């Protein structure tokens, strides 16, 4: 039990916060479409298949769009599934750094997990919405977890190659297909990381498993299916047809492209605090310099390169927003955390790292709980008013008291288009907002 105590300290409070905030998360923005689907159509195997085909052809073709619909199912599914997936995100990043599954018997593994989670809280833009707002969570966070899960067998093979059963070939192809269907901007980097690990195995003179080639082929196929999906033209209103990939870079100009790359370094700037701690620990007399680069250090460099590659992929994206930096911030956080924890040779620097990680998580948790504890009951009252208002009436709704920030996206009904959609869906003539405005709502997926 004592050996597991660091893990309990790292996981249990965070898990509780994730459960509470997902429970309080309101329906807003793109979430109304999923909410109304369950309200008006209902979820069945047939309706799920129809939705999947329809969204691929006419809307958002990502796999995450289907996952988003599922977590809008009535009941506590969002509060059960999403926190587990989010803890899985930090766990998979820890696994990719270590080259093995984290051990509950190792306090340093728990410290690495907590440091990665803290760095993600510090560096991910709009971190609250990325964790709790289901259209963001389903499209980006769930997709990233699938990408990282796809990479784990390649990381393990790079660490210690071993033979896999033949069944792994179709399984990895299917896994790659699903991973490629997750996000346009992460796919190329994930394929490159898998290919780099496979090349590393071959370069050492080891035999390359057929499953590895099958998985890469599947992910390339999934990426092409996503990129050329019919729904892309509708979703981006034909933006992708107005310019070639290089044409988009040219249209933005030097300053526009520099702003996209510079935003990543601005978001990642809190990493400097942890790097300073690692530098101090490295300079201490207790630190032992490794004789040569390890597989872990090479993997950290690969994760950092993957983060940069994802940012560079954004240069050819028709649209760019803070939500698209989740994957790059997470990979950079994992790379930095792996290096920092490896420098902590003495008890004082380990204690400092624990204090820094838990303090960051505590601050972020308090901010999230404060925001969603307020807006959750306010949404419940709003939904009750919408459901009980007379048909064709004019309904006055108070604005949310929580304004837009890193923790919450703001009131979606400040947008006239969204107000009209909700009013029509509940057979109202008009919705009028009262109270002070909470700032411009964020763009949707």
The string of pLDDT tens digits covering residues 306-332 is 999 999 999 888 788 899 999 999 999
Picking from 138, 137, 133, the residue whose alpha carbon sits closest to that of residue 372 is 133
Residue range 352-375: average pLDDT? 97
Long-range CB contact pairs, 234-237, < 8 A, 24+: 234/58, 234/59, 235/59, 235/60, 235/61, 236/318, 236/319
Write down the residue that tokens 């050492």 correspond to: 204
CA 11/CA 26 separation, integer angstroms: 25
The string of pLDDT tens digits covering residues 95-145 is 999 999 999 989 999 999 999 999 999 999 999 999 999 999 999 999 999
- C-alpha distances out from residue 114 to 58, 109, 358, 363, Å: 41, 9, 7, 14
The string of pLDDT tens digits covering residues 172-188 is 999 999 999 999 999 99
Give the DSSP H or E segment for 397. strand 394-398
pLDDT for position 443: 62
Helices (H), 25-162: 31-40, 45-58, 63-71, 77-98, 107-123, 127-132, 134-136, 142-159
CA 140/CA 182 separation, integer angstroms: 8
Residue 299, by phi and psi: left (phi above 0), alpha (psi -120 to 50) or beta? alpha
Tokens standing for residue 381? 């009252």
64: confidence class by pLDDT, cuts 50, 70, 90: very high
Beta-carbon contacts of residue 54 (< 8 Å; ≥ 6 apart): none
> 292 pLDDT exceeds 60?
no
Neighbours of 420 (CB within 10 A): 14
> 200 pLDDT exceeds 70?
yes
Write down the residue that tokens 């604005």 correspond to: 399
pLDDT for position 251: 77
pLDDT for position 237: 60
The string of pLDDT tens digits covering residues 222-236 is 999 999 999 887 776
pLDDT for position 241: 46
> 242 pLDDT exceeds 80?
no
Tokens standing for residue 79? 């509060």
Residues written for the chain: 445
User: DSSP code of 196?
Assistant: H
Output helix, strand, coil percentages for the chain, rounded to the nearest 5.
Answer: 70, 0, 25
Average pLDDT, the chain: 91
> 265 pLDDT exceeds 90?
yes
8 A C-beta contact, residue 112 and residue 337: yes
pLDDT for position 203: 83
pTM score above 0.85: yes
Give the DSSP H or E segment for 374. helix 347-388
User: DSSP code of 138?
Assistant: I
If you write DSSP's letter for every residue of 44-74 in order, what string do you get? -HHHHHHHHHHHHHHS--SHHHHHHHHHTSS
Query: What percent of the chain is predicted at pLDDT more than 70?
Result: 93
Picking from 161, 148, 119, 100, the residue whose alpha carbon sits closest to that of residue 296 is 100
Bridge-based pairing state of the strands 394-398 and 430-434: parallel
163: confidence class by pLDDT, cuts 50, 70, 90: confident
pLDDT for position 345: 81
Give the DSSP H or E segment for 167. none
For the chain, the maximum distance between any two Cα atoms, rounded to a whole number of angstroms, is 76
> 389 pLDDT exceeds 60?
yes
Residue spans of the domains in the chain: they are 5-351
Write down the residue that tokens 């989010």 correspond to: 86
8 A C-beta contact, residue 402 and residue 438: yes
């Amino acid at each position: 039990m004592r050996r597991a105590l660091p893990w309990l300290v790292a996981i249990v409070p965070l898990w509780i916060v994730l459960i509470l905030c997902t429970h309080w998360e309101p329906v807003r923005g793109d979430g109304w479409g999923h909410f109304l689907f369950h309200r008006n159509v209902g979820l069945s195997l047939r309706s799920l298949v129809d939705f999947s085909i329809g969204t691929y052809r006419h809307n958002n073709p990502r796999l995450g769009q289907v996952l988003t619909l599922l977590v809008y199912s009535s009941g506590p599914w969002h509060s059960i599934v999403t926190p587990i997936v989010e803890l899985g995100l930090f766990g998979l990043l820890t696994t990719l750094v270590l080259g093995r599954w984290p051990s509950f018997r190792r306090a340093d593994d728990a410290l690495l997990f907590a440091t990665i989670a803290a760095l993600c809280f510090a560096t991910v833009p709009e971190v609250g919405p990325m964790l709790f707002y289901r259209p963001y969570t389903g499209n980006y966070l769930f997709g990233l977890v699938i990408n990282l899960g796809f990479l784990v067998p390649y990381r393990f093979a790079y660490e210690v190659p071993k033979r896999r059963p033949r069944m792994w070939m179709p399984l990895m192809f299917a896994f790659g297909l699903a991973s490629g269907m997750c996000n346009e901007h992460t796919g190329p980097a994930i394929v490159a990381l898998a290919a780099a690990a496979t090349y590393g195995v071959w370069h050492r003179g080891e035999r390359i498993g057929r499953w590895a080639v099958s998985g890469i082929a599947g992910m390339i196929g999934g990426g092409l299916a996503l990129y050329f999906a019919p729904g892309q033209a509708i979703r981006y209103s034909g933006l992708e047809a107005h310019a070639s990939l290089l044409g988009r870079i040219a249209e933005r100009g030097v300053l526009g492209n520099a702003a996209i790359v510079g935003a990543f370094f601005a978001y990642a700037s809190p990493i400097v605090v942890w790097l300073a701690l690692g530098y101090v620990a490295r300079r201490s007399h207790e630190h032992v310099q490794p004789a040569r680069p390890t597989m872990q250090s090479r993997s950290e460099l690969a994760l950092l390169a993957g983060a940069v590659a994802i940012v560079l992929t954004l240069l050819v994206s028709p649209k760019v927003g803070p939500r698209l930096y989740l994957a790059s911030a997470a990979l950079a956080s994992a790379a930095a955390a792996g290096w920092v924890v490896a420098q902590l040779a003495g008890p004082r620097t380990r204690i400092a790292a624990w204090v820094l990680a838990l303090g960051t998580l505590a601050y972020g948790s308090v901010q999230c709980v404060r925001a969603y504890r307020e807006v959750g009951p306010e949404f419940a009252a709003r939904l009750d008013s919408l459901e009980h208002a007379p048909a064709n009436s004019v309904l006055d709704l108070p604005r949310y008291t929580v304004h837009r920030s890193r923790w919450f996206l703001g009131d979606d009904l400040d947008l006239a288009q969204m107000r009209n959609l909700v009013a029509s869906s509940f057979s109202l003539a008009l919705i009028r907002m009262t109270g002070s405005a909470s700032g411009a709502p964020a763009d949707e997926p």
